[in-house]
Amino acid sequence: MPVRFIQCLLMAAFLLLCSSLSFAESPLEIGNRRELFIDDVLVEKLTGEIEIRLQHPIPREVVFKFDQDWEGSSSGYHTIFQDGDLYRLYYRGSHIIVSDGRINTGSHKPFYCYAESKDGIHWTRPELDLVEFQGSKKNNIILEGLGTHNFAPFKDENPNCKPEAKYKALAGTQSEGGLYAFQSANGIHWKLMQEKPVITKGAFDSQNLAFWDTDQQTYRTYYRVFSGGVTTSKTWKPEGDRAIQTATSDDFLNWNNAIDLTYEDSPSEQLYTNQVKAYYRAPHIRIGFPARYVERGWSESMRALPDPKRRKQRASSVERYGTAISEGLLMASRNGVHFKRWNEAFLRPGIERTGTWQYGHQFIAEHVVETKSALPGAPNELSIYAAEDYWHGKGGSLRLYSLRLDGFTSVHASMKGGELITRPFTFEGTKLSANFATSAAGSMRVEIQTAEGQPIQGFTLKECADLFGDTVDRTVTWNQKADASSLQGKPVRLRIQLKDADLYSFQFQK
């Protein structure tokens, strides 16, 4: 058995033991942070017809077509983040030409490109005059050469970050020597932080990410490894499954504590990308959207999927190019190493249509951003972007998917109803806000209890009027009063009754 695998098992057991001991010995300290039900850390007991349910993004319009000559049908590894009033999109420009028995990737060398938006929906390509393509610099290319397979930028939230390195990125492959560190003052003009790679042990043939972890006050990276075999610049013999490793750094150059991710109750699967980042509304929770890669082989169902002629053509070169399928998953972690991974698909391939149900479809961009709702008067929502139309034609596409704020999962109860009891915790704040949705006949009620489970007078179920509606921010009241400041710092539990309702998150606010 590989030594690294044994080390990972021991580390996972240690983390779980520490976690269970902390629950047994002392209440959770949640302060005034927002808590989601994307794992069961807060859940003591569920009774009745109630469960933690995975939600699914709603497909919207295609918001970007990679149809410029320097972009192409194999544009991938998209990175999107909000920077003040501006949304930034980074993506690889590369093109594939598929013919019988051959995949041609050499129509032009890969580039990295940049687009921007004021709303996350309508995007423009600024003419940057940086990199020449076919005799002209009138394009939006920001990078050529080293790192253009998988350049993954982010805006550095480290308060001690130097102005010239306000934007950073990791990029590179084993054939280039590993992952290199890049920096930029404006997110457009980039240079290496040092000439040699900063991480050399790994596979890196994917989108390899990094960010400043505000919760742990360190830089954290997630990158591609394989569960077996050898992947070095001299020997490329990967075996086992595509997997994910993480490491930390104080300065973005010297990386330590490298360890494979572990999972609560998930089998080993082919995870192509990872797309992990701290969720901006609850930065103590790191959320990832890995792409699950599945080789299904030829079958009656495979032949019935869209574009059978093109599928067969791709497979004539390498069979998996025609018979592999990909989709988006959801996972979350509170320590950056051990994850709750939902085994059911978060973003399925969806209804069959041209450009779907293929390898490269539903690779989710890194990461989720907040945008205005398509419904007039509705609160803002989360936007998720995923790729389709890979392989064929002039260029691929990026489709927008929407989700309510905090809406990755919910505590869901049927009309018969159910009840959630939380683990003991302490909080800071004066009032309790809930993000929930009910039917017209559904409801939610909340009781605050002692850590031992005794109702606290003034905060009992009987004193809490039925809550109903669909809102991301509703203050809970008892006898028409919301003030819970008298309970600050004291170990308490929540008892929440739901009927034909979903609870997405809660927060004690000041």
**Share of residues in the chain with pLDDT > 70 (%):** 95
Amino acid at 471: T
Residues 132-170: tens digit of each pLDDT: 999 999 999 999 999 999 999 999 999 999 999 999 999
* Count of other CB atoms within 10 angstroms of residue 204: 26
pLDDT number for residue 107: 85
Q: Is 3 left (phi over 0), alpha (psi -120 to 50) or beta?
A: alpha
What token pair was written down for 275?
């797309």
Output the CA torsion sign for 107, 109, 110, 113: negative
pLDDT number for residue 4: 52
Answer whether residue 3 shows pLDDT above 80. no
CA distance 215 to 199: 23
Write the DSSP symbol of residue 57: P
Mean pLDDT, residues 480-500:
97
CA distance 273 to 291: 5
Residues near 84 by beta carbon (within 8 Å), at least 6 away in sequence: none
pLDDT confidence band for 224 (50 / 70 / 90): very high
pTM: 0.92
CB-based contact 172:150 (threshold 8 Å): yes
Residues 28-76: tens digit of each pLDDT: 999 999 999 999 999 999 999 999 999 999 999 999 999 999 999 999 9
CA triple 427-428-431, angle to 5 deg: 95
Strand 190-192 versus strand 180-184 pairing type: antiparallel
Q: Which CATH superfamily is domain 58-404 in?
A: Glycosyl hydrolase domain; family 43 (2.115.10.20)
Domain 28-55+414-509 matching CATH 2.40.30: the answer reads: no
CA distance 225 to 260: 8
CA nearest neighbour of 260 among 18, 9, 1: 9
For the chain, give every domain's residue range. Answer: 28-55+414-509, 58-404
Residues 94-108: tens digit of each pLDDT: 999 999 999 998 889
